[in-house]
Amino acid sequence: MEWLEEDENYDYHQEIARSCYADMLNDKDRNVKYFQGIRAAVSRVKERGEKAIVLDIGTGTGLLSMMAVTAGADFCYGVEVFKPMANTAVKIVEKNGFGDKIKIINKHSTEVTVGSDGDMESRANILITELFDTELIGEGALPSYEHAHKHLVQEGCEAVPHRATVYAQVVESKRMWSWNKLSPIPIQAESGQKTIVFPTEMDVCPGAPSVCDIQLNQVPWRDFVPLSEVLTMFSIVFSKPVSRAPASYTVKLKPIKSGTAQVVLSWWEIDMDPAGSIKCSLAPYWVQGTLEENPWRDHWMQCVYFLPNEEPLSQGQSVDLTAFHDDYSVWYKLQKSRNEDSKTSEPTKRPVCVCQAHLLWTRPRFGELNDWDRTSCYFQALKKVLKPNSICLSISDGSLLPILAHDLGTEKVFTLECSSLSRSLMRKIFSANHLEDEITILEKHPELLIPSDFEGRKISLLIAEPFFSTSLLPWHNLYFWFARTALEGHLSCDVTVLPQSASLHLMTVEFKDLWRIRSPCGTCEGFDMRFMDDMIKNSLDFRESREAEPHPLWEYPCRSTSDPLTVLTFDFQQAVPEHPLMNEGIINLSRCAKSHGAVLWMEYHLAPNISISTGLVQDSNEKDYCQWTPHCKQAVYFFSSALEPSSPASGPSAVAYAVSFDPATGEINMDFKPLI
């Protein structure tokens, strides 16, 4: 909820380098609306004959404070709890010539004091904040506003923004619901048709307590069915005292179509002025108009809330939708409409996972396990390599492969689950399928296993997805290779490994918008943001590492500027090599377009002619963007600057690459150099 001081070895520079400051500073719509709102607030105070004293909570770079002084404010207090950023804000403010009118306070706003010996000489009459996240209140806006109104600002102060309004829409969506609950999986086993089922507590579990925030504008219209109009759920007026107390708001809705209510899509908009003439909205494309008209931003997205259970709705038959919130979270509940009109409902407890699955698996992992095409690939691959006398060991976190192997008729199945949470959950799933005595769960790390763990038998079939919950980048799941190497003494001489191998793939791309998060800043109504960008880097001894970072590219459209190529191959039939694997070459850029970076992903080759990709599903063409698997994050390496085509006459340029796998660390190192 706030920055905490780490020890002296913590790399704050990298934290800032990877933060969303570039995205926010490049958000022209946000910056313009804030500047307009601040100028209007300062004008209203001046018209009353008062000095304009501003409190800017969460000042960050100091941008909004400088806007206030430029708009005519007499003095501004900028509060920033994160010390490295507060130090940077001081330098930016001074360099821009505002040092005598802006005081940066390195504290949490709830620790700020007012008085002759305090941090502020007097209470402010203008309150500026940007404390909002995708869920609006998730960064602690309510407690901060409550404290500010009690202790830091005058009664009747002007607030920018003045008001926030939360909207919701009830939809049916098989795709989004698959991120929340597992569906039974039918399989054609050796003994006939079977179905993998899941514990009853998973069906009734309300799910993860945290919001699912995504780029809702990238969810195509065909993936959901609106069952209601857009509903206004509640508003918060920031210029009046704000309470952090739990609250709820109920609205009646008449379904516009019969269907199964599964998901509540939600977003907010803020009015920068009391008249509501300056709006900043997060509404998705089907509300605001075409997608191209929507301002792109990554620091604020849209919310997907899963209802506790699926609810059938009939067109025209009224129901109540209730939004609840506490200090930091929002959640929704749908229930039969009451006779009397209702503005509010008694608050209920925030939903908490009771089945453990939502604590172990992410939403993309739920979607992955619900992907029948993917499961079918593993099932078909297992049929090719499994024998009736196979002694099988599965190594993946919370995987269904042990059940598939058992149902295909293998002699014995072991599964390795190093996480206590994963062990507990898998026991429940095995029990639900009456396999608790058929599949043995091993509770050790691979290097600690001994022959008696396998009942004195050798493993003849080693299987994995591979999937590990701690993996961030695509190649982190190569942990399976290290586990396979540690198990060398427990494997039979003719062991079969599934997947047989893996390959690392690379392609250069032009992003539609994602490049903005690493882009130098532009300008904002008289402020040279590029200068601020340089100040952030210089004052922090800026040293962003040139490394790949994970992004779910199905949410971030891009087009390929090169053909995909295989850069490294990993043979799981053999142990991890002692020496690095390396490859270098030249990527010819095939399109006359900017290349913002390289995307890397893994493909796992399960058996002959059966592979699973964690990345590219379909390359782009002249009209469409690339299609990526929605279940995994891909690795994105941003070039230090976008590579331009050499010229329209000479055509695209080229990039030299060097990629290596370090067996000592399990990491992939890479370097790219443009060729002129």
CA 441 to chain centroid, in Å, comes to 32
pLDDT digits (tens, 9 = 90+) for 119-133: 999 999 999 999 999
Pairwise CA distance, residues 44 & 656, whole Å: 58
pTM over 0.85: yes
Q: What percent of the chain has pLDDT over 70?
A: 90
pLDDT digits (tens, 9 = 90+) for 176-200: 999 999 999 998 776 778 899 999 9
Average pLDDT, the chain: 90
Maximum C-alpha span of the chain: 90
Please name which of 273, 235, 263 lies closest in space to residue 251, comparing C-alpha atoms.
Answer: 235
484's CB contacts (< 8 A; 6+ apart) are 395, 462, 491, 497, 572, 575
* Confidence at residue 419, expressed as pLDDT on a 0 to 100 scale: 86
Does residue 130 have an active-site annotation?
yes
Asked if residue 339 has pLDDT above 90, the reply is no
**The pLDDT of residue 41 is above 90:** yes
The pLDDT value given to residue 529: 52
84-137, pLDDT tens digit by residue?
889 989 999 998 899 999 999 999 999 999 999 999 999 999 999 999 999 999
- Asked about 80 being catalytic, the answer comes back as no
Phi, psi (deg, nearest 5) at residue 536:
-60, -45
pLDDT tens profile 362-381: 999 999 999 999 999 999 99
- pLDDT at 525 (0 to 100): 57
- The confidence score (pLDDT) of residue 346 equals 56
Q: How confident is the model at residue 591 (pLDDT cuts 50, 70, 90)?
A: confident
* pLDDT, position 3: 42
SS (H, E, C) 640-656: EEEECCCECCCECCEEE
pLDDT given for residue 193 in this prediction:
86
pLDDT value at 252 more than 70: yes
Greater model confidence, 100 or 16: 100
Q: Is the pLDDT of residue 585 over 60?
A: yes
Around 580, how many Cα atoms within 13 Å sit in the side-chain half-sphere? 13
User: Which residue is catalytic, options 2, 8, 121, 139?
Assistant: 139
Q: pLDDT tens-digit profile of 48-62?
A: 999 999 999 999 999
Residue 348 is predicted with a pLDDT of 73
Q: Is 60 exceeded by the pLDDT of residue 24?
A: yes
Please tell me whether residue 252 adopts helix, strand or coil conformation: strand
Separation in Å, CA 99 to CA 119, 351, 405 = 16, 47, 69
CA dist 33 → 38, 56, 127, 160 (Å): 9, 16, 16, 10
At 25, the pLDDT band (50, 70, 90 cuts) reads confident
Spacing of C-alpha 486 from chain mean position? 33
**Would strands 391-395 and 330-336 be described as parallel, antiparallel, or unpaired?**
unpaired
Please provide the DSSP assignment of 473-527 as one string: SGGGGGHHHHHHHHTGGGEEEEEEEES-EEEEEEEEEEESSGGGGGSPP-EETTE
Which has the minimum average pLDDT: 521-525, 583-587, 633-637?
521-525
Q: What are the φ/ψ torsions at residue 453 (nearest 5 degrees)? A: -60, -30
Neighbours of 375 (CB within 10 A): 18
What would the pLDDT profile of 455-482 be if each residue is shown by its tens digit? 999 999 999 999 999 999 999 999 999 9
pLDDT tops 50 at residue 281? yes
- Reference 264, options 313, 298, 297, 300; nearest CA is 313
User: pLDDT tens, 544-566?
Assistant: 457 899 999 999 999 999 999 99
Active-site residue (options: 80, 94, 111, 130): 130
pLDDT value of position 110: 96
pLDDT at 31 over 90: yes
Closest CA to 321 of 300, 344, 304: 344
pLDDT at 524: 57
8 Å CB contact between 585 and 657: yes
- pLDDT value of position 147: 98
Residues above pLDDT 90, as percent of the chain: 79
Q: 198: which DSSP letter?
A: -
